[in-house]
Structure 1
Amino acid sequence: MSYDRTQLLAAAHRAGDQHWTDLIPRLGVSRATAYRLWTGRGEPKATTAAAVQAAYGVTPADLVKPVPA
């Protein structure tokens, strides 16, 4: 599985969030987690994925995609 940030970024931009720091209050995550999500440097944990779904409507399945064989 591989984290795909494109759905998150698109939903964040639609909601008016233009910078990774905008994720901090909306998702209730740390600065480090917000940065990793925004830049794609790590996949979200289950609680963070649930926060993304609640805030932006992006499901965990949309965030993590299977790696092609």
Structure 2
Amino acid sequence: MSYDRTTLLAAAQTRGDQHYREMGQRLGVSRATAWRLWTGRSAPSAVTAAAVEREYGVPARHLLAPAAA
């Protein structure tokens, strides 16, 4: 499985977050973590995935995409 940032970005933008800093503030993560999520450099931790679900209504399983074979 790999992280699919498009789902998170769509949910963030639906809530009005147009920049990774806004998303980071809403999720309660550092700017660096928000940037890594926004750019797809890293997947959310379990704690961050829970914040995504709480703030954006996106379950963790929707943030993951099957790995290409």
CA distance in 2, matches of 1:66, 1:45: 18
In the alignment, structure 2 segments of 5+ residues that lack a partner are none
Displaced runs of 4+ in structure 1, greater than 4 A? none
1:2-61 CA distances to partner (integer Å, 9 max, x unpaired)? 000111111111100000000122000011110011000011110000000100011100
User: What is aligned with 2:66?
Assistant: 66
CA distance in 2, matches of 1:65, 1:47: 19
| TM-score where L is the length of structure 1 | 0.94
User: What is aligned with 1:47?
Assistant: 47
In the alignment, structure 1 segments of 5+ residues that lack a partner are none
| TM-score where L is the length of structure 2 | 0.94
Alignment length (residue pairs): 69
Alpha-carbon shift at residue 68 of structure 1 (Å) = 3.1
Matched residue type, 1:20: Y
Report the 3-state secondary structure (helix = DSSP H, G, I; strand = E; otherwise coil) of the residue aligned with 2:36: helix
User: What is aligned with 1:25?
Assistant: 25
